[in-house]
Amino acid sequence: MQTELSKTLGVEHAVFGFTPFPAVAAAISRAGGFGVLGAVRYTAPDDLKRDLDWIEAHVDGKPYGLDVVMPAKKVEGVTEADVEAMIPEGHRQFVRDTLAKYGVPELADGEASGWRITGWMEQVARTQLDVAFDYPIRLLANALGSPPADVVDRAHDQDILVAALAGSARHAIKHRDAGIDIVVAQGYEAGGHTGEIATMVLTPEVVDAVAPLPVLAAGGIGSGQQVAAALSLGAQGVWLGSMWLTVTEADLSSPAVTRKLLAAGSGDTVRSRALTGKPARQLRTEWTDAWDDANGPGTLPMPLQGLLVAEALTRIQKYEVEPLLGTPVGQIVGRMTAERSVQAVFDDLTRGFEQTVDRINRIAGRSGK
């Protein structure tokens, strides 16, 4: 599964794997793909440094990258406390009432809530980059579009390619004009923040719009057949995220989440603003239903919603309150029916890809098999 882009980066397969887990990122690169570590949860630079050190020690010299969440436009002088003060009391009460309805226990005295969505703040993302640029990363991806121009220039000065996610051809053209090297065409089926155009439609539109820039197809891809389809649409690789959530190397903190993922079908996700305030595909739960209910207060815009629900999600996850327990995941969850190693996923991808290419060659009369 090689393309011009994979050859440029020195990887065997044009499979780019986004994951929040260092062990998974390293395993993806070792298996011949390109592991990309998600950095948004690293609010402490030392934590990111620790995990990049670990990847360096376990990636066997193979290339890897980093994914940040960084706004293209700078907002001066805004602190997390400033944003917290914008959250209405009515929304805070709705969270308290919903947690009480399901009997979700409080955190222990002095126990801090878990990950808070602060990676969107430019100062946080820049501290992540200050750490990352000391490592031999080959790719910097940004989930909020094109990063600021000085970040693009800094990456290019260090021979690092820059990728940006796009949900439409219009967004992709803006990325191209901002000097981005790779556009990730992320379709409606994908987990996390997505647009409204399906991958099958979006990919060729983006390929045509930004040619000759390389495009990666994302959303609803989890088999070799789908990889072959993406490449046939003009993509130079695929960007997979959800598929890695149930691999044996993943470190999901909740066994209940893993069970729910393995049991879910492709129709068991919903595109909801409940997590961050922007539409994000995730498992449908009674938590997402509560926020999407017309009788509720409705979600707040990003980043207010993420800050509002951070402690609540920590409590739900810690105590594994299953009706409320979810995670971002794409519609490909229907194929995630068993825990497998990263290498086993790659074996399945390559086998399915080869079979599909052989089948197309037979249809085209180019093979005697």
Q: What percent of the chain has pLDDT over 70?
A: 93
Q: How many CB atoms lie within 10 A of CB 364?
A: 8
Q: How confident is the model at residue 116 (pLDDT cuts 50, 70, 90)?
A: low
Quick: pLDDT tens for 182-196. Answer: 999 999 999 998 999
pLDDT, mean of residues 34-60: 94
Q: How many CB atoms lie within 10 A of CB 110?
A: 5
Omega before 204 within 30 of 0, i.e. cis? no
CA torsion sign for 98, 279, 67, 350 is positive
pTM of the model as a whole: 0.92
The secondary element (H helix, E strand) that includes residue 65 is strand 64-68
What is the DSSP code (8-state) at residue 106?
A: P
Instruction: Copy the structure tokens of residue 8.
Output: 């440029």
Q: What are phi and psi of 213, to 5 degrees?
A: -60, 140
Quick: pLDDT tens for 325-354. Answer: 999 999 999 999 999 999 999 999 999 999
Which pLDDT score is estimated for 119? 47
User: In 234-342, at which residue ranges do the beta strands (DSSP E only) sit?
Assistant: 237-240, 269-272, 280-283
The mean of the pLDDT values for the chain is 92
Cα separation, 226 vs 239, whole angstroms: 12
What is the DSSP code (8-state) at residue 238?
A: E
Quick: pLDDT tens for 208-263. Answer: 999 999 999 999 999 999 999 999 999 999 999 999 999 999 988 789 999 999 99
